[in-house]
Amino acid sequence: MPQVQQFFLEGMRPEMGHVGNLARTMSQQAPQMQRTYTIRNDVNLKKNTIKLIRDDANPKHYHLEFSFDASSVCSVNVFFAGGVRAARGGGVGFAPLKGAAGTQPPQARAKGLNQTFRAAAPLDTSVYAEADLRYDQNATPARYPIIICLEATGGASGGAKSAVQSQTTFATIVTSGDGLSAQPIKQKIQVGTTSYELQEIYGIEGSANAGGEGASSSAAGGGDGDGGENTRECVICMTEPRDTTVLPCRHMCMCSECAKVLRMQSEKCPICRTPIEQLLQIKISKQGDGGAPTATAQPEA
């Protein structure tokens, strides 16, 4: 069994030559192992819940709805057909294309999980040209049909190295047979003067939910990928819980001990065979206070 495991870690079949393959892998630089920087995320919009609901009385009006979690008091700001610009203090500001027509009054919300939000005023599509409601990354600034900013106003959480001041979700509008629908593009969080873009980590859901531990979003919403990601065990030893993510493919599929061996003897992800550039170790924290998940993210380039 140890010999079979060794072959697997080296990306070999048992009938292949051993010496040549070992020399090849040893000559390559081993991927760097990183530990994550824990960021307490007090506000989290569930991006897959964003939807546009057509008004029965006025077909040109669409109501924006979504669900979110908040472990502190927060403010919700919605902008239609707007761009992002730098704001005072290193944060972000928004510039709606149609001024007041694209600006919603901010709404204060108490802390709580799985809250439903509906924008105070509907999106009036008669105000905009069709091109105004499309995502345009070449505009100056880049134009997004829907921008939702959740801002934590209840103070920083204790226990984490940093706390998220705000989370911004960007979405585009897609035309379908039933009218218009919203499709998320990306999410960013603001920590001090640094902006982070959240990225999916495939397999974190199984690791977070197993063993009674709370969910953790790492840069992540996670887990629609392939390769048995909703199970807890490392795909190599099949005994220890997985806690290490392969970059850039973002498969969380190994325990830290197997990752140490893998990075010296193979250069490909065990799930998708993508070349490994870095290994990222993630500690799944328990959520004793029932708050929003902890986020792990990388600074925006």
The domain that holds 8 is classified in CATH as: 3.30.40.10
Evaluated on CA atoms 35, 41, 47, 49, the torsion sign reads positive
Same-domain status, 136 and 228: no
Same-domain status, 192 and 210: no
DSSP labels for 9-43?
HTT--TTS-SHHHHHHHHTSPPPEEEE--EEE-SE
Same-domain status, 239 and 158: no
Same-domain status, 151 and 191: yes
Residue after which a domain boundary falls, among 156, 180, 197 = 197
Residue after which a domain boundary falls, among 134, 162, 197 = 197
Q: What is the C-alpha separation between 90 and 75, in angstroms, rounded?
A: 19
Q: What is the C-alpha separation between 292 and 214, in angstroms, rounded?
A: 10
What are the pLDDT tens digits along the chain (301 aa)?
A: 444 444 444 444 444 444 444 344 444 555 565 555 667 788 999 999 999 999 999 999 999 999 999 988 999 999 998 877 655 555 567 777 777 777 888 999 999 999 999 999 999 999 998 888 899 888 877 889 999 999 998 764 444 445 778 899 999 999 887 789 999 999 998 888 788 888 878 877 655 554 433 333 343 333 344 444 456 889 999 999 998 888 889 899 999 899 988 878 888 899 999 998 888 887 765 544 444 444 444 444 3
Helix (H, G, I), strand (E, B) or coil at 148: strand
Residue after which a domain boundary falls, among 144, 172, 197 = 197
Q: What is the C-alpha separation between 131 and 31, in angstroms, rounded?
A: 44
The answer to whether position 64 is within a domain reads yes
Helix (H, G, I), strand (E, B) or coil at 140: coil
Same-domain status, 169 and 275: no
Quote the DSSP letter at residue 293. P
Domain count, the chain: 2
Helix (H, G, I), strand (E, B) or coil at 203: coil
Residue written as tokens 């220890």?
240
Task: Domain of residue 232: give its range.
Answer: 2-30+200-299
